[in-house]
């Protein structure tokens, strides 16, 4: 056998052993996610021990001369086995959200950096790219680009580029030109510089510094596999994480101080009767924020939504800055609007859903991207912006109805998608069924208010106003019906 062929077989064996390591590591990762967060074993079976034994057996043949006649056939069969294993692992991975990847690393905190490298090699070995894969790669790239001794400091650019060059060596995605890669690197570096110049949390969020980086990353496509681009993404992510953590620590301190003040106000008002709805809304938002913190899944919008609830309470009920003669007026709660579109006392769940819409619109300033992500109508965006200008409070009963309808529509669509995913994975639907039932109950009430307002509008209303009400109502009904069919079938 020619020397060149011997070297070729030996190289094939080395590539197979590296691929086996990546697949075995990915299997261990999936096993850890399922055990820690889903309370079950992964829903597949792969004979890794058998594949390993066959690799060991063929290693003797490719490491010594003369080579056996069937060495290449045996390597080809192992390659096929690994391809089937990779497909099985990929199908299982697709059922897991990117947030579970973040939660796994936050909870387990693996110390071996090779784990991150092998997971990235697995993703870059896939034949295609989707949004969830891009999000998972983005998170893992942040870990890989961090210095081992200081996670809030990035590696040197040359070091990071060499690392990612080795990781993507087996990637088959279409390459980008050097010119395109250079333009993307320059844009990412510029946006990372903008983040580093932020002076406060509000500046970071409302200046859309983080969102601008997210936007360009969503548009990368297969350029995500370019080592230079990956190095810039990793450096930008590490820097953004450090800035966010610094401001988050400052905001968390303010939140704790505000929470203490709100709890004091609530105790004072409890002596005189049931505290106003704003206090229950704040508690619900605070509990949701605490849950996200526990899951290591807090985003800028979550923090902004909680600050809206804090402002709604303290802005209305904190009496420390008022003159004595103003106290009586400050404690008066305005009578509700009795018009059909007026919102009754808002349940905490509904307030949370509305806050999610307000936070998203405020972060994006009502841009086309935010409308696309939430699938908001233009009149719903305008209602949200008017409410934001009034510290989260709709300016009319009509605006309140539009916002609540949009918020429950988004919630119903999210729960529908989660129900489908959970059913495919064989998860328990008990908690989701209860949450969906709450959504359906609220949606039914809002649909009734839509019907009343549309009926009262009559012929005097402008065609555009009537169209907006009817379209928002029927979009809510569509989301309601899809969720109801799943909920009803499970009863």
Is residue 157 included in any domain, yes or no?
no
Is residue 41 included in any domain, yes or no?
yes
**Is pLDDT of 491 > 70?**
no
What residues contact 173, with CB distance under 8 A and at least 6 apart?
Answer: 124, 129, 222, 224, 225
**Is pLDDT of 106 > 70?**
yes
Q: What is the dihedral of CA 176, 182, 187, 189, to 10 degrees?
A: 120
Q: Which residue segment(s) compose the domain that 82 sits in?
A: 1-110
> Using one digit for the tens of pLDDT, what is the confidence trace for 350-362?
888 888 888 888 7
| Two tokens, residue 123 | 């993703």
Mean pLDDT over each residue of the chain, to the nearest integer: 83
Is residue 143 included in any domain, yes or no?
no
Q: Do the Cβ atoms of 52 and 90 come closer than 8 Å?
A: no
Q: Measured between alpha carbons, how far is 227 from 211 in angstroms, rounded to an integer?
A: 23
**Local confidence band at 318 (pLDDT 50, 70, 90 cut-offs):** low
- Decide: helix, strand or coil at residue 142: helix
What residues contact 413, with CB distance under 8 A and at least 6 apart?
Answer: 375, 479, 482
Boundary-marking domain end, from 47, 75, 110? 110
Q: What is the dihedral of CA 478, 484, 485, 487, to 10 degrees?
A: 150
- Other beta carbons within 10 angstroms of residue 122's beta carbon come to 21
Give 38's DSSP letter: I
**Local confidence band at 364 (pLDDT 50, 70, 90 cut-offs):** low
Q: Which of 352, 333, 453 has its CA nearest to residue 408?
A: 352
Who wins on pLDDT, 385 or 271?
Answer: 385
**Local confidence band at 3 (pLDDT 50, 70, 90 cut-offs):** low
The predicted pLDDT at position 326 comes to 38
**Local confidence band at 323 (pLDDT 50, 70, 90 cut-offs):** very low
Q: Which of 64, 62, 47 has its CA nearest to residue 16?
A: 62
Mean pLDDT value across residues 115-143: 93
Q: 91-95, 147-151, 299-303, 395-399: lowest mean pLDDT where?
A: 299-303
Who wins on pLDDT, 330 or 267?
Answer: 267
Is residue 53 included in any domain, yes or no?
yes
Q: Which of 303, 299, 259 has its CA nearest to residue 283?
A: 259
- Decide: helix, strand or coil at residue 272: coil
Boundary-marking domain end, from 110, 128, 153? 110
Is residue 362 included in any domain, yes or no?
yes
Domains contained in the chain, number: 2
- Decide: helix, strand or coil at residue 215: helix
Who wins on pLDDT, 464 or 87?
Answer: 87
Mean pLDDT value across residues 409-415: 91
The predicted pLDDT at position 58 comes to 86
Boundary-marking domain end, from 110, 129, 154? 110
**Local confidence band at 192 (pLDDT 50, 70, 90 cut-offs):** very high
> Using one digit for the tens of pLDDT, what is the confidence trace for 10-56?
888 888 999 999 999 999 999 999 998 888 889 999 999 999 999 98
The predicted pLDDT at position 488 comes to 79
Q: 6-15, 162-171, 211-220: lowest mean pLDDT where?
A: 6-15
Q: Do the Cβ atoms of 144 and 112 come closer than 8 Å?
A: no
Is residue 86 included in any domain, yes or no?
yes
Q: 27-31, 331-335, 365-369, 476-480: lowest mean pLDDT where?
A: 331-335
**Is pLDDT of 294 > 90?**
no
The predicted pLDDT at position 81 comes to 95
The predicted pLDDT at position 141 comes to 96
The predicted pLDDT at position 171 comes to 92
Give the bridge partners for 147, in sequence order: 150
- Other beta carbons within 10 angstroms of residue 297's beta carbon come to 16
**Local confidence band at 489 (pLDDT 50, 70, 90 cut-offs):** confident
Q: Measured between alpha carbons, how far is 14 from 390 in angstroms, rounded to an integer?
A: 64
Is residue 42 included in any domain, yes or no?
yes
- Other beta carbons within 10 angstroms of residue 394's beta carbon come to 22
| Two tokens, residue 423 | 């059913």
Q: Which of 131, 119, 109 has its CA nearest to residue 26?
A: 119
Is residue 219 included in any domain, yes or no?
no
What residues contact 392, with CB distance under 8 A and at least 6 apart?
Answer: 308, 309, 311, 312, 355, 358
**Local confidence band at 267 (pLDDT 50, 70, 90 cut-offs):** confident
Q: Which range scores top for mean pLDDT: 60-74, 165-179, 300-314? A: 165-179
């Amino acid at each position: 056998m020619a020397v060149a062929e011997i070297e070729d077989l030996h190289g094939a064996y080395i590539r197979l052993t590296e691929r086996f390591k990546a697949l075995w590591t990915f299997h261990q990762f999936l096993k850890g996610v399922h055990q820690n967060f889903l309370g079950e074993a992964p829903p597949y079976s792969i004979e890794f021990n058998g594949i390993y034994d066959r690799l060991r057996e063929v290693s003797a043949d490719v490491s010594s001369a003369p080579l056996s006649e069937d060495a290449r056939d045996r390597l080809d069969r192992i390659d096929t086995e690994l391809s089937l294993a990779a497909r099985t692992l990929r199908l299982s991975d697709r059922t897991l959200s990117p947030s579970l990847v973040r939660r796994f690393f936050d909870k387990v905190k693996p110390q071996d950096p090779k784990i991150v490298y092998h997971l990235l090699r697995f993703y870059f070995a896939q034949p295609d790219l989707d949004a969830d894969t891009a999000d998972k790669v983005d998170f893992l790239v942040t870990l890989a680009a961090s210095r081992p001794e200081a996670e809030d400091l990035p590696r040197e650019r040359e070091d990071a580029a060499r690392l990612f060059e080795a990781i993507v060596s087996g990637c088959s995605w279409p390459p980008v030109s050097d010119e395109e890669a250079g333009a993307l690197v320059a844009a990412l570096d510029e946006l990372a510089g903008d983040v580093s110049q932020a002076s406060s949390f509000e500046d970071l969020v409302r200046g859309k510094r983080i969102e601008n980086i997210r936007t360009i990353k969503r548009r990368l496509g297969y350029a995500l596999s370019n080592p230079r681009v990956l190095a810039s993404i990793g450096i930008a992510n590490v820097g953004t994480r450090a800035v966010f953590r610094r401001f988050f620590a400052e905001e968390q301190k303010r939140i704790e101080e505000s929470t203490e003040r709100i709890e004091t106000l609530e105790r004072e008002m409890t002596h005189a009767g049931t505290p106003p709805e704003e206090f229950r809304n704040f508690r619900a938002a605070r509990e949701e924020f605490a849950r996200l913190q526990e899951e290591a899944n807090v985003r800028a919008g979550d923090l902004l939504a909680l600050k809206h609830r804090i402002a709604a309470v303290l802005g209305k009920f904190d009496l420390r800055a008022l003159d004595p003669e103003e106290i009586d007026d400050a404690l008066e709660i305005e009578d509700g609007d009795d018009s059909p579109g007026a919102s009754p006392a808002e349940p905490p769940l509904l307030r949370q859903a509305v806050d999610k819409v307000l936070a998203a619109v405020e972060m994006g300033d009502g841009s086309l991207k935010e409308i696309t992500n939430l699938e908001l109508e233009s009149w719903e965006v305008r209602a949200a912006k008017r409410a934001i200008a009034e510290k989260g409070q709709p300016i009319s009963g009509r605006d309140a109805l539009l916002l609540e309808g949009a918020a429950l529509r988004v919630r119903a669509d999210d729960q529908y998608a989660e129900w489908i995913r959970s059913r495919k994975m064989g998860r328990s639907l008990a908690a989701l069924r209860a949450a969906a039932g709450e959504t359906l109950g609220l949606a039914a009430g809002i649909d009734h208010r839509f019907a009343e307002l549309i009926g009262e509008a009559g012929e005097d209303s402008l065609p555009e106003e009537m169209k907006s009400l009817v379209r928002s109502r029927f979009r809510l009904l569509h989301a309601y019906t899809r969720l109801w069919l799943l909920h009803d079938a499970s009863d």
